[in-house]
Structure 1
Amino acid sequence: METQGRSYLRVIAVLTMLAMPAALAQTEQELLNPPPTEWPTYGRNLEMQRYSPLSQINTFNVPRLRLTWSRSLGFRTDAQFSPVVYRGIMYVPAPDRVIALNATNGDLAWEYKVKLHEKTASLAASRNRGAVVVFDGKVYHTLGDGRVVALEARTGKEIWSSQIGRIELGEGFTSGPIFAGGKIIVGPSGADIGGVNGRVVALDPQDGKTIWTFNAIPQPGEPGFESWDPPSAAQWGGGSAWNVGAYDPVTRTVIYGIGQPIPWVAKDFRRGDNLYTASWVALEADTGKLKWHYQVIPNDEWDLDQIATPTIGDVRIDGQTRRVALLPTTTGFLLLFDIRTGQMIKWHQMVPELTIHKGFTPEGKPIIDDSFRYQQVGEKKLVCAFRWVDWEPAAFSPQTGLYYRPNTYDCANLRNDPPAADWRPGQNPINAEFEYLTDRFSRYGALSAIDPATGKVVWEFGYGYRNFNGPVVTAGGVVFSGFMDRVFRAFDARTGTILWQQVMPAYMQTDAITYMVEGKQYVAVIAGGAGTFFPHRQTGLPPVVEGEVTAFVFALP
């Protein structure tokens, strides 16, 4: 039955199923070090590097790429996700479904679809970020109404369903799960919707039961609770971990970004640093215990949540190879942390203008200009940068040593008023207005190739739209990325030279991937969507072209 959000299943195209591989289960080792042919999780590997060791398509032959197949996916939400591929099957997520396709021709294998709970918040019902996780013959997915489900990878049949989100407060999921230390890790959304406090939750892959929970807003008796003044402010403190995290298998560390506090205006509502909002948290994969944290914006009241997907890798710094977490801030900085100790190694300013977050002290503490704090109702403040990065992932190539970061030079005038006096949990806690300053700089969005050791931008492709598109970089020396101007491009990973481009029927704000089946390499991207989330552009450019969400896959002829 479908009441109370119980799911149902539609299994289609039985003949296609007969062509599926005989064995779909894989071990944890295959996620820690995926075969070059596969893309089984959001970042391909658990460190979220989005690097593929495939090189059949390279800088010499990429101009010969041709469309191999395309398929409309039957919905028109804000597509902000990545497909994944394992053993010849592509899995595509959405807030209410998972679609499985033959990765060589687009034939439908199965579709799992649910009716979302009637109280599902519009934000969670209309977009999905990240990707599913394919592990041990199962596909793990998060739904807009707060459920986490495990499906049979072969048939799409539901194995278990766990209600994690507090649906009565509008808590659901806007991003997919990750795999870490033998567990499925999820971060619900809800602070911006109904004021619910954020969490990071670890589930047992076999039955969906909760193994541990990290409270992003500390509860009484937990470290950090003392940073809320008055203590009652922590009851509805916000801090959703609403985007995708990363996992370092070397140190067994899970890293998530944490959102802003609630209400946005601090005056007369909350004092103190308000841990762990606007922070990065590093957790023990086995227990969920906090290993270290870094708060970018203490007592944030400008919606400066720190939620971009981390990237973990080995970086050569000052003659020494360091195991680092690359943490991009919404405020316009790239931070490098020693993942073992939580020590800040370096920070780089990546934007031309700063207002609120000015930089860091020699001890690594953020420098905040408190003159921008709100004192009167109706005030406007220039927030710059507001969203240098958002939910979109970066790519990191161990071959070039470069970090390929989608970004936007984004400043905004923000009017941030207190919530209504009769506000109650479950109601919208936001009372703000934005004026986006799209023409403030010569470019708006960009894909920038950054040397993480120095902060130098080695090359950059900039244009007049925001850039929410996650790239993939390959051993063939190519970076693939879609863009909001409808063009899917391939760049030389070292120089940024455009090697190939294809105009698509609609805009893109999804993440490209590459994979191989039966000796043939493919490149995939999803185009289309409702075009409702941050469609801003510079003056004189046409609106984004909407369209039904469609998968496009390219290969050499």
Structure 2
Amino acid sequence: MGTQGKSYSRVVVVLAMLALPVAVAQTEQELLNPPASEWPTYGRNLEMHRYSPLSQINTLNVTRLRMVWSRSLGFRTDAQFSPVVYRGIMYIPAPDRVIALNATNGELVWEYKVKLHEKTGSLAASRNRGAVVVFDGKVYHTLGDGRVVALDARTGKEVWSTQVGKIEFGEGFTSGPIFAGGKIVVGPSGADIGGVNGRVVALDPQNGRILWTFNTIPQPGEPGFETWDPPTAAQWGGGSAWNVGAYDPVTRTVIYGVGQPIPWVAKDFRRGDNLYTASWVALDVDTGKLKWHYMVIPNDEWDLDQIATPTITDMRIDGQTRRVALLPTTTGFLLLFDIRSGQMIKWYQMVPEVTIHKGFTPDGKPIIDDTFRYQQAGEKKLVCAFRWVDWEPAAFSPQTGLYYRPNTYDCANLKNDPPPADWRPGQNPINAEFEYLTDRFNRYGALSAIDPVTGRVVWEFGYGYRNFNGPVVTAGGVVFSGFMDRVFRAFNARTGEVLWQQVMPAYMQTDAITYMVEGKQYVAVIAGGAGTFFPHRQTGLPAPVEGEVTAFVFALP
């Protein structure tokens, strides 16, 4: 266990917090089945449903929503995260801090802030996805410079700090932790720059000790290493678990998506399938051993990593109830996998055009058009879809049976030149230029309500910007989501009718939540940011409006 950075941490505590019902204890059962009032982790439950059983705000009264408080958070990074709430306290993450607020009025309870290491990678220093985990009186967070920290939920004081990311290679975190089987599980980010391989890591929540590590790029002697040719290519880097995974407590399985190999262009540098990049991996939570995997793009050279957060649920399919993982691919498909067997049950093409990844064979293998592989410098390839999904989470309602999926009809002309012949790990492995074809279809981004049993889109709200906003769906029959056009909207969960909307001062690419304190239901969303990550839009639309990252909370009068 490391302690690097402790001397740089700063905690500001507001004494008024002593009157608040702050979290002092919490059991694993409360994370497995959270009380209706709470939102203690990224997906609210560990299966990542983003479903709330609250119904005080519903389709009949949502038009009466009013803002009850807002608070500027004092930074302007690419906010791509979800707040969480437990026992009346809202916890908000950033690459270098955690902010605790009174969830009823926005007053500061405490702020934990650190100075990031000077070698922190630019991506990890400028964005944070996912959320903190609140468990056993502690708040668990991942910092941009590769530290995992546990904070006292009452005071914000650091309990332990473990250096997981290899900071000498700029490896840190762009996404938060998950709780799984009594462990804190994380996926370091930044293997794009080379020199370090991706992995999934489990830590002891009491002391930060690393319990197991799964290498997403196998090392010598590990299964899958033989899929790298030459063998040295498996030590160059790549394969970050860039985003938040999910946990199935029924089968005790952790599922993470894995990023692309490097360098991006394979010719003259790497051959073979290159496991487990551009794949999904299902791990035994007790040992970290691989249960099963599925590779979407063998030998990826188009940055088609598979990093969207899975959703896990029981589903009635062909007369049989099965434990299913919903896995959305960047390439435009929704996959249904049996978690126990690792077998593909169904797949659906969700985009109007595919080029490189054409679909699947009857036995579930991906069909890749190898004519799109790069042979000469200066070539352009039409990549459709490039990012149907990215980091943004979906929501799933057991009430409607629908899967509410943020997505983008994203095609791009990709010029991807090979690195120089003397390229070495640690040097820039990316030599790409993108021309985004934002007007190729009649909409760009959307929130789509999908029946996962049939693949049918029941309703859809489309518009001219990308959609990176995670929704929340409630027992009140309402879906809440922010959008890049500055509008926070509430939809009828069954029909898609827009029931209420509020123009915000800046764009949103964060995840809405809802919670209850002292019998009153609130809805929260974060707006603002630096506007630097994929701000593309259709022709004629204004640029996204930037602004200091600010929390906004609404309730009925």
Q: Give the TM-score category using the shorter length.
A: over 0.9
Give the residue type in structure 2 aligned to 1:266.
A
**Matches of residues 274-423 of structure 1 in structure 2 within 5 Å?**
274-423=274-423
1:196 aligns with 2:196: yes
Query: Aligned equivalents of 2:304 and 2:265: distance in 1?
Result: 12
Query: Aligned equivalents of 2:75 and 2:172: distance in 1?
Result: 19
Per-residue CA shift, 1:97-151, capped at 9, x if unaligned? 0000000000000000000000111111000000000000000000000000000
Question: Deviation of residue 25 (structure 1)?
Answer: 1.1
Q: Which residue of 2 aligns with 1:11?
A: 12
**Matches of residues 145-164 of structure 1 in structure 2 within 5 Å?**
145-164=145-164
Per-residue CA shift, 1:246-272, capped at 9, x if unaligned? 000000000000000001101111111
Q: Which residue of 1 aligns with 2:424?
A: 424
Per-residue CA shift, 1:2-46, capped at 9, x if unaligned? 98574322223212x122216521000000000000000000000
Partner SS, residue 63 of structure 2: helix
Query: Aligned equivalents of 2:161 and 2:128: distance in 1?
Result: 18
Give the residue type in structure 1 aligned to 2:379.
E
Q: Which residue of 2 aligns with 1:548?
A: 548
Query: Aligned equivalents of 1:523 and 1:21: distance in 2?
Result: 19
**Matches of residues 183-222 of structure 1 in structure 2 within 5 Å?**
183-222=183-222
Query: Aligned equivalents of 2:28 and 2:543: distance in 1?
Result: 44
Partner SS, residue 124 of structure 2: helix
Q: Is the 8 A contact 1:195 1:429 kept in 2?
A: no
Partner SS, residue 46 of structure 1: coil
Query: Aligned equivalents of 1:464 and 1:23: distance in 2?
Result: 42
Q: Which residue of 2 aligns with 1:32?
A: 32
Q: Is the 8 A contact 2:260 2:278 kept in 1?
A: yes
Question: Deviation of residue 237 (structure 1)?
Answer: 4.0
Q: Which residue of 2 aligns with 1:83?
A: 83
Give the residue type in structure 1 aligned to 2:14.
A
Query: Aligned equivalents of 1:46 and 1:479: distance in 2?
Result: 20
Q: Is the 8 A contact 2:23 2:86 kept in 1?
A: no
Q: Which residue of 1 aligns with 2:166?
A: 166
Pair 4,58 (structure 1): closer, same or farther in 2 beyond 3 Å: closer
Q: Is the 8 A contact 2:193 2:425 kept in 1?
A: no
Question: Deviation of residue 319 (structure 1)?
Answer: 2.3
Q: Which residue of 1 aligns with 2:227?
A: 227
1:101 aligns with 2:97: no
Per-residue CA shift, 1:489-520, capped at 9, x if unaligned? 00000000000000000000000000000000
**Matches of residues 49-68 of structure 1 in structure 2 within 5 Å?**
49-68=49-68
Question: Deviation of residue 423 (structure 1)?
Answer: 3.3
Q: Is the 8 A contact 1:169 1:425 kept in 2?
A: no
Question: Deviation of residue 195 (structure 1)?
Answer: 4.3
Query: Aligned equivalents of 1:506 and 1:469: distance in 2?
Result: 14
Give the residue type in structure 1 aligned to 2:53.
P
Give the residue type in structure 1 aligned to 2:529.
G
Per-residue CA shift, 1:203-256, capped at 9, x if unaligned? 000110100000000011110011111111101141000100000000000000
Question: Deviation of residue 421 (structure 1)?
Answer: 3.6
Query: Aligned equivalents of 2:426 and 2:198: distance in 1?
Result: 14
Q: Is the 8 A contact 1:133 1:177 kept in 2?
A: yes
Query: Aligned equivalents of 1:498 and 1:326: distance in 2?
Result: 26
1:244 aligns with 2:253: no
Give the residue type in structure 2 aligned to 1:537.
R
Pair 199,58 (structure 1): closer, same or farther in 2 beyond 3 Å: same
Partner SS, residue 31 of structure 1: helix
When the two structures are superposed, what TM-score results if normalisation uses the length of structure 2? Answer: 0.98
Query: Aligned equivalents of 2:256 and 2:538: distance in 1?
Result: 32
Question: Deviation of residue 318 (structure 1)?
Answer: 1.8
Query: Aligned equivalents of 2:213 and 2:378: distance in 1?
Result: 38
Partner SS, residue 13 of structure 2: coil
Q: Which residue of 2 aligns with 1:514?
A: 514
1:258 aligns with 2:258: yes
Query: Aligned equivalents of 1:128 and 1:194: distance in 2?
Result: 21
Query: Aligned equivalents of 1:470 and 1:533: distance in 2?
Result: 16
Task: Using the TM superposition, name which of 234-243 and 301-310 deviates more.
Answer: 234-243
Give the residue type in structure 2 aligned to 1:10.
V
Q: Is the 8 A contact 2:197 2:237 kept in 1?
A: yes
When the two structures are superposed, what TM-score results if normalisation uses the length of structure 1? Answer: 0.98
Query: Aligned equivalents of 1:391 and 1:343: distance in 2?
Result: 24
Query: Aligned equivalents of 2:304 and 2:4: distance in 1?
Result: 38
Q: Which residue of 1 aligns with 2:41?
A: 41
Give the residue type in structure 1 aligned to 2:399.
Q
Task: Using the TM superposition, name which of 309-318 and 462-471 deviates more.
Answer: 309-318
Partner SS, residue 30 of structure 2: helix
Question: Deviation of residue 427 (structure 1)?
Answer: 2.9
Query: Aligned equivalents of 1:96 and 1:440: distance in 2?
Result: 39
Give the residue type in structure 2 aligned to 1:127.
R
Give the residue type in structure 2 aligned to 1:350.
M
Query: Aligned equivalents of 1:451 and 1:554: distance in 2?
Result: 29
Q: Is the 8 A contact 1:6 1:115 kept in 2?
A: no
Query: Aligned equivalents of 1:231 and 1:192: distance in 2?
Result: 18
Task: Using the TM superposition, name which of 188-197 and 157-166 deviates more.
Answer: 188-197
Give the residue type in structure 2 aligned to 1:380.
K
Partner SS, residue 29 of structure 1: helix
Q: Is the 8 A contact 1:195 1:262 kept in 2?
A: no
Q: Is the 8 A contact 1:195 1:428 kept in 2?
A: no
Give the residue type in structure 2 aligned to 1:459.
W
Q: Which residue of 2 aligns with 1:448?
A: 448
Q: Which residue of 1 aligns with 2:527?
A: 527
Q: Is the 8 A contact 2:5 2:114 kept in 1?
A: no
**Matches of residues 415-494 of structure 1 in structure 2 within 5 Å?**
415-494=415-494
Query: Aligned equivalents of 2:367 and 2:516: distance in 1?
Result: 47
Question: Deviation of residue 389 (structure 1)?
Answer: 0.1
Question: Deviation of residue 425 (structure 1)?
Answer: 2.9
Per-residue CA shift, 1:132-183, capped at 9, x if unaligned? 0000000000000000000000000000000000111110000000000000
Question: Deviation of residue 417 (structure 1)?
Answer: 1.2
Pair 19,428 (structure 1): closer, same or farther in 2 beyond 3 Å: farther
Query: Aligned equivalents of 1:53 and 1:420: distance in 2?
Result: 55
Pair 116,320 (structure 1): closer, same or farther in 2 beyond 3 Å: same
Give the residue type in structure 2 aligned to 1:55.
S
Q: How many residues align?
A: 555
